[in-house]
Structure 1
Amino acid sequence: MPAALDNLLAISDRLGDPMALEAKRGERLENTRQVAVRNGVAVVPVVGPIFRYANLFTEISGATSTQVLATDIQQALDDPKVKAIVLNIDSPGGVASGINELAELIYAGRDRKRIVSYIGGTGASAGYWIASAASEIVIDEASLAGSIGVVVEAVVEGENATGRKRY
């Protein structure tokens, strides 16, 4: 859209360099597939269906593999420049094999760095399992989260908050 292009060009002009658009996204974390680091925060995308192993299908279709996620999260945990990790989740779930091990890695990693799950879109099934291992889950108002058999108790904050709600 023309307005969106104008906005991108304005950002580029403001920073004096067309490469500034790339810098806004953050720097790629070395030895990872998709992790970007911005101001000491590593953003790990958990997007699309989740499978255990990466292959050509996961690359082409935009799916995620627990194998790649584990490698990327471990790299972020080990990197001293990374102070916190955000799991950027938009996944309907996927294959259950490998999810438990990945969730255990995330859960244990909370002792080393702050790990926050952000669900912007869908965080269901295996996607929700991964999210639940983090210290905190932030869910966009228009997002879907949960899974079969999951009960969530949330503290509702804000102007019209009534306290705890069970969903």
Structure 2
Amino acid sequence: MKGRSEPNRQLPMLAQRIFNTPLMIHEHKAEIIVAALQHRLGVGNFDRIDSTALGATDMLSLSGDARRDRDNWKPFAQDDDIAVIPVSGTLVHKFGWLDPVSGMTGYDGIIRKFRAALMDSTIRAIWFDIDSPGGEVAGCFAMCEEIAKSTLSEGGPKPVWAYINEQATSAAYAVASVCDRVYGPRTMITGSIGAYIMYIDFSRALDKNGMTPEIIRSGKRKGRMTGTEPLDDPALAKLQAMVDETRDIFANMVAMGRGLSVDTVLNTEAEIYSGADAVKTGLVDDIMSETEAWELLQLELGRRA
């Protein structure tokens, strides 16, 4: 059994995916992730940490992909003639697993299920069951663009609906926004159409521990955002440009999917909305229970039969 003192080789990879890169995730979720990791990453000290390991070995027992019957198995859940695809927890790029594991869902798993549902002749509609604060930028827009092009409203073969159950913010709302219809309960939380970067400056922590990094550069801008030295003005401007570009792409996608003007979307200033405000802003179609939305989809399929 691995002792607590043994270093976790996954931590540098996680740090690379969380810090100093654009994110589309609800701020409270980001705070939880940082709090859980910061002691182990040497960012600071917390009395309580999340000791859950994220190694592939630990996830293997939960996956079971290699042991499934490929002749009869489908990568998505099916209820009557509707494919149900869950979008839950933190959304990440190239996760490598079809199903949500350890509080995360991969964009690669979502799109594989979506493609399979489109190709399946027994499936007449696709239902995204969304409960997620968002996640990584990488992989999100490419996936959403593919979904958008395959929706019924864009000439695709099957209606694609999203139900916010109970949260779809940031990258998770990007998924919902490109679907044909979006519904949710009064208590839903949605929006947060923006991006940000959590930049971590380790330089003072290094000084405190008697370590002074020397950076030998080839190219003036090389290594300016490593976190081992304070940001200079050009580096700060570059990071700001990155999040601004991400927000613009996001806003244009939402505007296209929801039939809104780009200015209307940008004017939300990445605010979050619930219930009637989400409907009023145009981010969702209506408030209704999951059962009501499901029955409405079945009614629509009956009309198309």
> Normalising by structure 1, what TM-score?
0.69
1:30 aligns with 2:73: yes
Q: Which residue of 2 aligns with 1:117?
A: 162
1:80 aligns with 2:117: no
1:126 aligns with 2:171: yes
- Kept in 1: contact 2:181–2:285 (CA 8 A): no
1:30, distance to aligned residue in structure 2 (A): 3.2
Three-state SS of the structure 1 residue aligned to 2:127 is strand
- Please point out which of 179, 186, 191 is paired with 1:146: 191
- Kept in 1: contact 2:184–2:287 (CA 8 A): no
Q: Which residue of 1 aligns with 2:145?
A: 104
Q: Deviations over 1:92-123 (max 9, x none)?
A: 00001111111111111111210000001110
Whole-angstrom distance in 1 between the partners of 2:84 and 2:193 = 27
Structure 2: stretches of 5+ with no match in the other structure = 1-71, 195-264, 269-280, 289-305
> Normalising by structure 2, what TM-score?
0.39
Letter in 1 for 2:147: I
Letter in 2 for 1:128: Y
1:155, distance to aligned residue in structure 2 (A): 6.0
Whole-angstrom distance in 1 between the partners of 2:104 and 2:111 = 15
Three-state SS of the structure 2 residue aligned to 1:42 is strand
Letter in 2 for 1:125: S
Larger helix share, 1 or 2:
2
Q: Deviations over 1:31-61 (max 9, x none)?
A: 41xx2111100010000000011158x8541
Letter in 2 for 1:92: P
Larger strand share, 1 or 2:
1
Q: Deviations over 1:4-45 (max 9, x none)?
A: xxxxxxxxxxxxxxxxxxxxxxxxx8341xx21111000100
Q: Which moved more, 1:63-72 or 1:101-110?
A: 101-110
Letter in 1 for 2:169: A
Q: Deviations over 1:56-93 (max 9, x none)?
A: 8x854131000010100000011010000000000000
Whole-angstrom distance in 1 between the partners of 2:157 and 2:286 = 28
Q: Which residue of 1 aligns with 2:135?
A: 94
Whole-angstrom distance in 1 between the partners of 2:126 and 2:287 = 24
Structure 1: stretches of 5+ with no match in the other structure = 1-28, 159-167
Three-state SS of the structure 2 residue aligned to 1:128 is helix
1:148, distance to aligned residue in structure 2 (A): 3.6
Flag the 1:59–1:127 CA change in 2: closer, same or farther, 3 A.
closer
Q: Which residue of 2 aligns with 1:71?
A: 112
Whole-angstrom distance in 2 between the partners of 1:78 and 1:141 = 34
How big is the alpha-carbon RMSD for the aligned residues of Structure 1 and Structure 2?
A: 2.3
Three-state SS of the structure 2 residue aligned to 1:48 is strand
